C-alpha cells in the first residue's frame, strides 16, 4: 500500500503526475516521482513512500488513543535500558513491514540492539526512531517518527557508522493535531500534511527557512543544577531578556517531544537544547546520534539553521556505535553560535550574567 491508499507510487503513476505545484495540491507520490529516474534516489523515494505508508497506520492508532488497542503502557526496556511502550514496539513492527517493499540493505531502529541486514545488493540503509516522545503517548501530546536514509557501504557492518553529511535524505512525522511529514532530500526542507479524507500526504510548505535569530528557547530547565557552565550561562542570558547581553526577551517552551520542538522551530524559529549534564548516564546528553540528532541536523541545516554539540557540528560526527548519545543544540544559527562561543571561551561566562545573575547576584536562580 503506497502513501495514498488507492494507489502506490511503486505500482502505477497518478493521472495528475503533472499536478500543479502550488502548495497543497502536490501529493507526496507525485513529489517523489521525479526521483524515480536516478537509481540511488529511486530507492530513497521508495523508502520515503514506505515510511509514509507506515505513518498512515501509526496515525490511525495514535489518533484513536485508548479506543485503539494501544494502552501507552510500558512493556519492557530496549537494548539501552530505555522504557519501551507498546506503541514503540508496534510502530517498529509497522515500519519494518512497510519498508519490506523498498530495496534496503540494512535497517536500524531505536527499538532493536542490532541492525537488520536485508538485501546486501541494495543501495541504501535506513535508521529510524519509530516513536519519538513515547512518554507523551497517553498524554495526548504530539509524538512522532524520525528517519535517516544513508548510502549502503560495501561493508554493511559500517552502515550506521557514517558521518551525518553522508545522509541522502532525512525526515520526521508528527502525530498531533495534524499528521505532518517534514522531509529533506538535500534540496531544502518541505512539509506535507496528511489529508485524512484521501489518506494522502499533500505539500503545504516548500523550502522552509528558519530565522537566524531566535526569541524562544527550549530546554528541560528541571535539570539546570546538573548543566555545564556554558549551558547555564546561555539560558541565563535568555532569561536576562532585554536587560541582558542578548538584548531581547525570550519565550520558553519544553514539550518533551523532539519532533514537536523541531516542528515549532521550523514554523516560528527558536533554539532547542538537550545538552550533556552531570546526571548518571547523561554525560553525552540523552538523544541518539544516528536516528535522532543526525536526521534533525540535516533538516535544520537544510532550513538555514545550525546543529551542534556545543563544540562540534553534528553532521561532521561519525557514530561510534548505533545507539550512541550526543548533546544536541539546534535551531537559529545566531543562538547556536553563541552557545558554541560560551563553550569555547569560558572567560565569556563570567561576564555574561555577572550583574544580575551571578551566583552572588541579587536574584538567585
Ligand atoms: P521518549 O521517547 O522516551 O519520550 O523521549 C523523548 C526524547 O527523546 C525527546 O523527544 C525529548 O526531547 C526528550 O527525550 C525529553 O527528555 P526529558 O524527558 O528528559 O525532558
Provide the residue-wise pLDDT of the chain in tens; the chain has 365 residues: 444 444 443 444 444 455 655 556 899 999 998 776 666 688 999 999 999 999 999 999 999 988 887 777 777 777 667 778 889 999 999 999 999 999 999 999 999 999 999 999 999 999 999 999 988 988 999 999 999 999 999 999 999 999 999 999 999 999 999 999 999 999 999 999 999 999 999 999 999 999 888 899 999 999 999 999 999 999 999 999 999 999 999 999 999 999 999 999 999 999 999 999 999 999 999 999 999 999 999 999 999 999 999 999 999 999 999 999 999 999 999 999 999 999 999 999 877 655 544 544 444 44
DSSP state for residue 289 in the 8-state scheme = I
What confidence score (pLDDT) does residue 363 get?
47
What is the per-residue pLDDT for 36? 66
Our CA angle for 70, 76, 78, nearest 5°, is: 110
Query: Rounded to whole angstroms, how far apart are CA atoms 55 and 76?
Result: 23
- The pLDDT assigned to 65 comes to 85
248 CA to centre of ligand 1 in angstroms: 28
In this structure, the residue with its CA closest to atom 13 of ligand 1 is 256
Gap from CA of 134 to ligand 1 centroid (Å) = 8
Burial tier of 297 (Cβ tally within 10 Å: 0-12, 13-18, 19+)? buried
Q: Which residue among 87, 132, 285, 295 has the greatest number of ligand 1 atoms within 8 angstroms of its CB, and so is best to mutate? A: 132
Q: Give the pLDDT of residue 357.
A: 47
- Residues in CB range of 34: below 8 A, 6 or more apart: none
How does strand 271-274 pair with strand 251-253?
unpaired
Atom 6, ligand 1: which residue's CA is nearest?
133
What is the position in ligand 1's atom list of the atom closest to the CA of 88?
2
Counting atoms of ligand 1 from 1, which one is nearest the CA of 259? 10
> For ligand 1, which residues put their CB under 6 angstroms from it?
82, 132-135, 220, 256-258, 274, 286-287
Q: What is the pLDDT of residue 354?
A: 56
Give the chain's length: 365
Backbone angles phi, psi at 77, to 5 degrees: -130, 150
pLDDT of residue 35: 73
Residue 18: the pLDDT is 55
Mutate to test the pocket of ligand 1, among 135, 143, 224 (most ligand atoms within 8 A of CB): 135
Please give the distance, rounded to the nearest whole angstrom, from the Cα atom of residue 256 to the centre of ligand 1. Answer: 5
* Interatomic CA distance for residues 305 and 263, integer angstroms: 13
Give the distance (Å) from ligand 1 centre to CA of residue 258: 7
| Residue 222 Cα: closest atom of ligand 1 | 20
Q: Which of 312, 38, 7, 59 is nearest to 174 (CA)?
A: 59
- Interval between CA 24 and ligand 1 midpoint (Å): 31
Q: Rounded to the nearest whole angstrom, what is the distance from the C-alpha of residue 255 to the centroid of ligand 1?
A: 9
The per-residue pLDDT for 24 is 62
Instruction: Tell me if 145 sits within 8 A of 132, measured CB to CB.
Output: yes
The CB density around residue 205, as the number of other CB atoms within 10 Å, is 16
Ligand 1 atom closest to Cα of 223? Answer: 19
pLDDT at residue 1, as a whole number? 41
Amino acid at each position: 500500500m503506497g502513501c495514498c491508499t488507492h494507489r502506490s507510487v511503486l505500482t502505477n503513476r497518478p493521472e495528475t503526475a503533472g499536478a500543479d505545484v502550488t502548495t497543497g495540491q502536490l501529493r507526496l507520490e507525485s513529489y517523489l516521482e521525479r526521483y524515480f529516474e536516478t537509481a540511488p534516489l529511486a530507492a530513497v523515494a521508495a523508502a520515503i513512500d514506505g515510511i509514509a505508508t507506515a505513518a498512515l497506520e501509526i496515525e490511525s492508532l495514535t489518533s484513536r488513543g485508548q479506543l485503539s488497542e494501544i494502552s501507552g503502557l510500558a512493556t519492557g526496556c530496549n537494548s539501552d535500558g530505555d522504557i519501551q511502550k507498546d506503541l514503540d514496539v508496534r510502530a517498529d513492527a509497522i515500519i519494518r513491514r512497510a519498508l519490506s517493499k523498498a530495496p534496503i540493505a540494512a535497517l536500524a531502529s531505536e527499538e532493536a540492539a542490532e541492525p537488520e541486514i536485508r538485501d546486501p545488493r541494495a543501495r541504501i540503509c535506513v535508521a529510524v526512531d519509530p516513536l519519538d516522545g513515547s512518554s507523551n503517548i497517553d498524554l495526548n501530546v504530539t509524538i512522532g517518527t524520525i528517519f535517516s536514509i544513508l548510502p549502503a557501504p560495501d561493508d554493511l557492518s559500517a552502515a550506521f557508522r557514517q558521518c551525518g553529511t553522508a545522509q541522502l535524505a532525512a525526515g520526521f512525522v508528527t502525530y498531533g493535531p495534524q499528521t505532518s511529514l517534514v522531509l529533506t532530500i538535500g534540496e531544502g526542507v518541505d512539509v506535507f500534511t496528511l489529508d485524512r479524507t484521501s489518506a494522502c500526504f499533500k505539500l503545504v510548505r516548500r523550502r522552509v527557512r528558519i530565522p537566524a535569530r531566535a526569541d524562544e528557547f527550549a530546554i528541560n530547565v528541571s535539570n539546570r543544577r546538573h548543566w555545564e557552565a556554558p549551558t547555564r550561562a546561555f539560558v541565563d542570558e535568555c532569561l536576562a531578556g532585554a536587560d541582558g547581553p542578548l538584548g531581547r526577551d525570550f519565550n520558553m517552551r519544553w514539550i518533551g517531544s523532539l519532533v514537536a520542538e523541531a516542528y515549532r522551530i521550523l514554523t516560528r524559529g527558536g533554539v532547542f537544547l538537550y545538552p550533556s549534564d552531570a546526571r548518571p548516564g547523561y554525560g553525552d546528553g540523552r538523544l541518539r546520534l544516528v536516528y535522532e540528532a543526525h536526521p534533525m541536523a540535516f533538516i535544520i541545516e537544510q532550513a538555514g539553521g545550525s546543529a551542534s554539540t556545543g563544540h562540534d557540528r553534528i553532521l561532521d560526527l561519525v557514530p561510534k556505535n548505533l545507539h550512541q548519545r550526543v548533546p544536541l543544540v539546534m535551531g537559529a544559527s545566531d543562538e547556536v553560535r553563541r552557545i558554541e562561543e560560551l563553550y569555547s571561551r569560558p572567560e565569556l561566562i563570567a561576564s555574561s550574567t555577572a550583574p544580575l545573575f551571578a551566583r552572588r547576584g541579587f536574584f538567585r536562580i
